[in-house]
């Protein structure tokens, strides 16, 4: 019945257009796969490409109890496994397949640094497979099933286009080389499950995401706050029952995933120590967060021990996430959940310990999910997020594909989504100046030699410039989440340009329609469960 109503909802032209978007998205990813990857031709450690390959080597040749433990066959100093067990299982499955098609790729101890063409083909293909099987289907399912029945199909297609064409995830996964598409795809599916009140399924999917990549802790507070808030709103007895059910599901999911490492306290402790290595430092390279941006004035890395700095980061992050978390706990709606996911993940990026440049993707994907509600802010944020990773991408030799991908993304977004339509003139002008400033910094980094005394000058300027933007976006998205008088303050600040008031009314009407549709979806899902 659900499939029939979904199929009759769209015109015959919808599915060919959707297929075209998917084919174009995959074409971009395949094209990026032809370029260089992290650490290519840079022994002895190479880069993330070699790290993932080495994990396949370790997990497909050694028993699970040795994966996270230093030993004669597993040197943790050489790209030791430091992701949760679900990543390890994924790498083991890929390693087993590699043994069948190309045993040299995962030969224990002798395959370090291997960069043959057939090895690159296998590794690149393994990322593309996860794009096809998980990431792209998750995006499509989200925008099709979470939107009101009467939503114009062009809005759905445009939203899918922005999500699937976002250059950041492509440049990191298919260029630099990682598997962020797995953890973020699971997170998107968990968000979709929440919109249909399938809370237990959402908990399972998010636990899987968290057990694939520990950086999904950035999203843990929004999921916890939303689900706990719904339990509180359900009344005493029903709320306690729901909370107990969620707790049991979470414990069971973790127990199943961690079962090979729960035979002893030492085994579990070894995994945890690998996942949270507090001796690695405050941040990686020139990341666009608070601690790196203030480093020219205060070098926290040099004056405070890593263990103490980790505690400071935890305290500051906890304090800064409280407004968004408490607001979501008090009013657990999907609109607030979306913005809380953005706000809290952005706060984690700005203030938490040991942050990578790539971690901005964890905030960028929730931003993609509200593109049809706030197109200008979303497109602007996504462009700045890619800009913040330019030093990393340049190091990998990916400046040309980055320029092409960003240019195509901006032109297609401007043509189809039209983010600047009916926007205040001063906001559009500010966005244009902001992006022009980013372009100038990239050109300066590429063509102007840095002073010998400050060899990383332009990389640091990019980090500071991006960090300033992220603070402004965090303030803006907080106002969007809190709503009421806070959102009125935002609109009052923007008013004075033609079209602002009408845009606000349009946005409010859209929000009402989305909330009504979510209520309808929840009622229908409850009645369906009752009939079963």
Would you say residue 84 lies in a domain?
no
The tokens describing 369, both together, are 């999910």
Would you say residue 207 lies in a domain?
yes
Query: In angstroms, what CA-CA distances link 446 with 111, 284, 384, 458?
Result: 35, 21, 18, 9
Chain Cα centroid distance, residue 63: 31
- Given pLDDT bands bounded at 50, 70 and 90, which one contains residue 515? very low
pLDDT above 70 covers a percentage of the chain that reads 89
Check if the beta carbon of residue 340 is closer than 8 Å to that of residue 194.
no
**175: DSSP letter:** I
Would you say residue 53 lies in a domain?
no
Q: Mean pLDDT in the chain?
A: 90
Q: 155: domain range?
A: 4-33+116-524
Q: What residues have CB less than 8 Å from 20, skipping those under 6 apart?
A: none
Query: How much is the pLDDT for 354?
Result: 86
The tokens describing 507, both together, are 């946005």
Would you say residue 340 lies in a domain?
yes
Would you say residue 478 lies in a domain?
yes
Would you say residue 266 lies in a domain?
yes
Rounded distance between C-alpha atoms, residue 232 and residue 240, angstroms: 8
Mean pLDDT value across residues 165-190: 97
Please give the model's pTM, rounded to 2 decimal places.
Answer: 0.90
Encode pLDDT of 322-333 as tens digits. 999 999 999 999
Hey, which residues does 283 pair with through a beta bridge?
355
32 pLDDT higher than 60: yes
530 pLDDT higher than 50: no
Q: 3-class SS at 79?
A: coil
Check if the beta carbon of residue 474 is closer than 8 Å to that of residue 343.
yes
Closest CA to 206 of 226, 196, 191, 225: 191
Closest CA to 212 of 99, 81, 343, 328: 81
Would you say residue 63 lies in a domain?
no
Angle between helix axes 425-447 and 457-482 (nearest 10 degrees) is: 160
Rounded distance between C-alpha atoms, residue 203 and residue 197, angstroms: 11
Would you say residue 54 lies in a domain?
no
4 pLDDT higher than 50: no
Query: How much is the pLDDT for 500?
Result: 44
498 pLDDT higher than 50: no
Whether the upstream peptide bond of residue 44 has omega within 30° of 0, thus cis, is yes
Count of structural domains within the chain: 1
Rounded distance between C-alpha atoms, residue 167 and residue 23, angstroms: 15
Query: How much is the pLDDT for 484?
Result: 65
């Amino acid at each position: 019945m659900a499939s029939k109503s979904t199929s009759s909802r769209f015109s015959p032209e919808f599915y060919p257009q959707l297929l075209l978007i998917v084919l174009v998205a995959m074409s971009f990813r395949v094209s990026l796969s032809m370029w260089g990857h992290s650490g290519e031709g840079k022994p002895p450690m190479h880069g993330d490409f070699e790290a993932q390959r080495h994990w396949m080597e370790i997990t497909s040749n050694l028993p699970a109890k040795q994966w996270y433990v230093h030993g004669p066959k597993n040197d943790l100093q050489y790209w030791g496994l430091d992701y949760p067990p679900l990543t390890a299982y994924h790498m083991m499955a890929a390693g087993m397949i590699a043994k069948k098609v190309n045993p040299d790729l995962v030969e224990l101890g002798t395959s370090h640094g291997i960069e043959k063409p057939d090895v690159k083909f296998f590794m690149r293909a393994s990322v593309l497979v996860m794009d096809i099987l998980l990431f792209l289907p998750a995006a499509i399912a989200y925008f099709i099933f979470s939107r009101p029945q009467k939503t114009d199909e062009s809005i759905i297609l445009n939203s899918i286009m922005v999500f699937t064409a976002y250059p950041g995830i492509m440049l990191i996964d298919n260029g630099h080389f990682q598997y962020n598409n797995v953890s973020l795809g699971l997170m998107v599916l968990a968000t979709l499950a929440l919109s249909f009140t399938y809370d237990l399924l959402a908990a399972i999917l998010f636990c899987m995401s968290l057990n694939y990549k520990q950086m999904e802790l950035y999203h843990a507070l929004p999921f916890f706050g939303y689900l706990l808030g719904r339990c509180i709103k359900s009344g005493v007895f029903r709320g306690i029952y729901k909370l107990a059910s969620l707790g049991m599901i979470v414990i069971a999911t973790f127990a199943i995933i961690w079962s090979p490492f729960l035979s002893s306290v030492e085994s579990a402790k070894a995994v945890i120590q690998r996942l949270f290595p507090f001796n690695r430092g405050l941040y990686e390279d020139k990341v666009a967060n608070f601690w790196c941006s203030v480093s020219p004035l205060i070098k926290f890395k040099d004056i405070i021990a890593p263990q103490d700095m980790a505690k400071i980061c935890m305290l500051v992050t906890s304090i800064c996430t409280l407004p968004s978390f408490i607001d979501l706990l008090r009013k657990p709606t999907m609109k607030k959940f979306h913005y809380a996911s953005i706000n809290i993940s952005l706060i984690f990026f700005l203030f938490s310990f040991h942050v990578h440049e790539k971690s901005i993707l964890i905030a960028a994907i929730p931003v993609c999910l509200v593109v049809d509600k706030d197109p200008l802010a979303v497109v602007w944020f996504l462009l700045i997020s890619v800009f913040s990773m330019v030093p990393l991408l340049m190091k990998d030799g990916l400046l040309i594909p980055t320029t092409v991908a960003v240019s195509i993304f901006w032109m297609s977004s401007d043509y189809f989504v039209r983010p600047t339509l009916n926007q205040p003139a001063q906001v559009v002008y500010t966005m244009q100046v902001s992006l022009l400033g980013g372009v100038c910094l990239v050109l300066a980094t590429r063509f102007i030699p840095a002073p010998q005394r400050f060899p990383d000058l332009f990389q640091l300027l990019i980090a500071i410039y991006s960090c300033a933007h992220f603070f402004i976006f965090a303030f803006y998205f907080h106002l969007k989440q809190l709503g009421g008088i806070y959102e009125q303050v935002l609109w009052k600040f923007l008013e004075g340009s033609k079209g602002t008031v009408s845009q606000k009314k349009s946005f409010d009407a859209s929000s009402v329609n989305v909330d009504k549709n979510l209520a309808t979806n929840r009622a229908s899902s409850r009645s369906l469960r009752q009939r079963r």
